[in-house]
Amino acid sequence: MNGVPLVAYLALGLFMFTTGVVGVVIRRNPIVIFMCIELMLNAVNLTFLAFARYQYTKLPVGDLQQQSSMMAGQMMVIFVMAVAAAEVAVGLGIIMAIFRLRQNIDIDEMNLLRG
């Protein structure tokens, strides 16, 4: 929107990202961890779109490279969404499989890879 500084969007994105990071470290429920990961991905999406809109580059408007960087942000968002979707599907499938095996989805109990 006109009048809203770029920083505002970036600040929101940063806040969401940080919250997601804290959530991954703190929560023990793997499903909630996944949700925090989704939160982080969305923060990144927001950042991409913000930069795509505000074009924080030093190139003149109408330049070919500037045109392509204008659309590049949105392309990134599309792909991030697609990847996030695939990742959620597979990840939740893994959680279901583990639950079926162990009747327990506390992530701290899953430490078979320890050295």
Partner 1 sequence: MESNSIWLVILLPILGFLFQALIGPRLGKGAGAKKTLGIAAVLPIALSFVVGLLITLNLAGRAPSDRSVVVAGPDWISVMGLRLPFEWVVDPLSMTMVLIITGIGALIHLYSTGYMAQERDYSRFFAYLNLFIAAMLILVLGNNLALLFIGWEGVGLCSYLLIGFWYKDVVNAKAANKAFIVNRIGDWSLMLGMFLIVALIATNTDRFAGDRYLSYDVMLPALQGILQDNPGMATAIALLLFGGAAGKSAQFPLYLWLPDAMAGPTPVSALIHAATMVTSGVVLLNRMHVVFEYSPLASAIICMIGAFTALFAALIAFGQTDIKKVLAYSTVSQLGFMFVACGAGAYWAGMFHVTTHAFFKALLFLGAGAVIHAMAHDQDMRNYGNLRKYMPITFGTMAVGWLAISGFPLLSGFFSKEAIIGSALASDHPTVQGMRFGQISGWVALGVAALTALYMTRLTCLTFFGKEERWRNIPATEETHDERHSLADSGTILNEDLSSPRYAAARELEEAEHPVVENVVETRTLPSVDPHGFFYKAGEEPHKEHEHHHALDQNHQPHEVPASMWIPLAVLAVLSLIGGYALETNHAFRHWLYPQELPVLGQVPAAYPNLLYLSLAAAIGGLVLGWLFYSRGLPKDQGHDESGWNPLRRAERDQFGYDGAATTLAVQGGGDLATALWQWFDRSVIDGIVNGSGLVARGAGMALRLLQTGVVRAYALMMLVGVVGILGYFFYAMTTGVGR
Partner 2 sequence: MNQSLGGVTITPNLLLFGALGGAAAMAAVGVVAFNNAVRSALCLVLNFFLLAIVYFTLNAEMMGITQVVVYTGAIMVLFLFVIMLLNLGAPQLLRDREDPKRWLGLLLGFALFAIVAGQIFPSLLSHTNIGAVDGYGSPQAIGRTLFTQYVLPFEAVSILLLIGIVGSILLAKRRI
Q: Which of 28, 63, 75, 79 binds partner 1 (CB under 8 A)?
A: 28
Nearer to partner 2, 25 or 115 (CB): 25
Spatial CB neighbours of 2, under 8 Å, sequence gap ≥ 6: none
Residue 103 gets which letter from DSSP? S
Residue 113 interacts with which of partner 1, partner 2, none, CB < 5 to 8 Å by class: partner 1
Residue 54 interacts with which of partner 2, partner 1, none, CB < 5 to 8 Å by class: partner 2
Nearer to partner 2, 62 or 115 (CB): 62
Q: Which of 10, 21, 49, 70 binds partner 1 (CB under 8 A)?
A: 21
Three-state secondary-structure class, residue 4 = coil
66 burial (CB, 10 Å; 0-12 / 13-18 / 19+) is middle
Residue 111 interacts with which of partner 2, partner 1, none, CB < 5 to 8 Å by class: partner 1
DSSP string, 20-63: HHHHHHH---HHHHHHHHHHHHHHHHHHHHHHHHHT-SSSPTT-
As measured in angstroms, the least distance from the Cβ of 48 to partner 1 is 19
